[in-house]
Chains A and B, each alone.
Chain A
Amino acid sequence: MRIVLLECKKVIMSPVIIGLFFLFTAFNLLVIFNSSDHKDELKIVNEIIDTYGREITPSSLELLKKDIQNDLLELEQLTGKRYDSVYDFLEGLDVEAYERYSDKEKTFITQLQLKEMYESTASSIDENYAKIDVEKLGHTSLEMYKISGPAAKTYLAENEKFAKRFDDMIQNEEHKEWFFAGKAYKMHTYLFNNIFLQMMIEILLLVVLSTAFLATYEFEQRSHLVAFSTRRGRKLMKDKLAASLATAVAISALVLGSTLGVFFMVFDYSHVWETSISSAFNWEYNFPNVAWWDITVGQFLLASIGVLFIGVLLISVLTFAISILIKNSYVTFFVVAAGFILLYMLPSFMPHSSNLLFVAGYTLPTLLMAISGLFMGSSGMIFFKNFEWVTIGVWTAITIIALFISFRRFAKLDIQ
């Protein structure tokens, strides 16, 4: 344990890694604060959930409609005119007239506008979902991705399973729960694509650098002859691996903790953790986000963090195995980066008629780059229900084999 801690100290004393960590954290916070102009508007969802409950039921929706009518009466008192919707009022309003209202009145108008938007979306859920034909969309996707032959068969078979899941999801009414309006704010994409992707790339850069740094440290400092002839000998590499993994966990936790901590302080998610990730409000583009399982936003976040941790640890171990062979941290960094990019691009080299097209997508880079689409049946070419656990399982096996070979080779290596 003492050796592991002393190894970790080497990373803490590395100005490059510490400098990059602070730079990345500052950048993440800047990105969050720069995109926080709508943070107050999101709070309406918390108020709606507080007042009407998380689930959208006919009775709760009716209550919301009644309250909106009361608010419209209040608007009538304010404006001296009766409106059926706040949008009618806003349509005929110029900036000068709007500015004559007090801040409190402006807030009331904005709140009413938001309530109407949420009510309108909630009221049209059934109508909008009734229009979705998953099986037909499957065929459209085949044409879009130009998939044919056995690959098309595989795709359609999985799509059929997803169609059943989609029907079950509607039956369970998982989609009838309040969440931030997807079309307006795209919070799922913002958090799980933009912010998570950004953090994931930063964490990977730091972890690959720190792992290669630790694994090759003795060779680069030319202290290898002393270090590997001590009592600990070549088993020092096991301590270095443990230190690399501990550092990877610490780096991931610090980047995730600082960035997500600030993110959730800026954007109040306190009332939506229990909302289903398949909520109709989590519909941002052409097709709603629909998960294979009935999971909440909180569970989705934890699962995403879990996948990120596992992926990062596997890449750390792979980097370590490569470092032992290469013995140069910067060359290792570029080899890992090149491997990551090549694996991510692998499906594009596969014939669109072969199942290899999908097999080539079961890679760590694809898994990590697709955080926002994980566990979803609506995530394009990686929509397979088994995608996450098969990818993690296969790459865990590959990683263990690579490490085993690398350690065995190092045990017999002439240290010059």
Chain B
Amino acid sequence: MKEISDELAKGKKLGDEVEGGILVGIKGYGKTTDGSAFVKALGESAQTSEGLAKNAKRFEDLKNIQDLATRNAKILQGGKGVARDPNFRKNFFNMLEDYGLKISENAKKFIAVHHIAPNFLKGKEVADFITKMGYNIDAVQNAIGLPRIDLNLLDDAIKGLDESIDMLKNTQHLESIKTTLKLSDDVDIKELRRIVKELEDAKTASVHAVDTYHPEFNTMMRQNIERLASDFDNLIASGVSQTKAIESYKPIFDNLINTTVNDLLNGIIKL
């Protein structure tokens, strides 16, 4: 398996692709500040659908939903980061299953996550240390931040889907949506209704029980990384050159990051 730290050390950051698809990507149907890709897809399809003039009110509603998604995405960006594609972490959905939340392939396309990235990583000493170890600070935040389903954007997706189901009865429109969202061929109105129900259930799943900053995990990471950063500076203070100190600490830090990410991937670190 390719070492995650290799990718991070190359300066990969949010939005970059990496081999294996573990790290990153506002791709697929993750959300960006432009709003929900799903809602956007609906909007775009609506503009090309026949019967647009007859149903102006519905399309106006769609625009409002998109505005809502955009607003929520901006709020998230200011507060807890931009939501992203859950597939950045290869077994995110396996982890959800461990928590009793099984989601169908179709419903997965409507889910976005965002990370609770520990603030201590932004502290000057820690950030300097991470940079000296050759890592991109944003990439480290993404790698060890804990993902959680974004409930605000899930609400938007449900609302967008629910309010649009009647309109989607138009066969041409439904085909367009299916193509855009890469939904399977057997998706019909009934399936869309089932997805809405599934997403509604996901909102109340126990995986959302921890709605704080995951203090247990964050404290553990802070203690481990801060100690390395502090010892790195102590080593230099003892007369060792920075180059030699980096040579000594880089393999140790690589190991810490790889262990952490692998433990997260394999569910060894419990949320």
Determine if chain A interacts with chain B: no
Residues on A lying within 8 angstroms of B by beta carbon are none
Residues on B lying within 8 angstroms of A by beta carbon are none
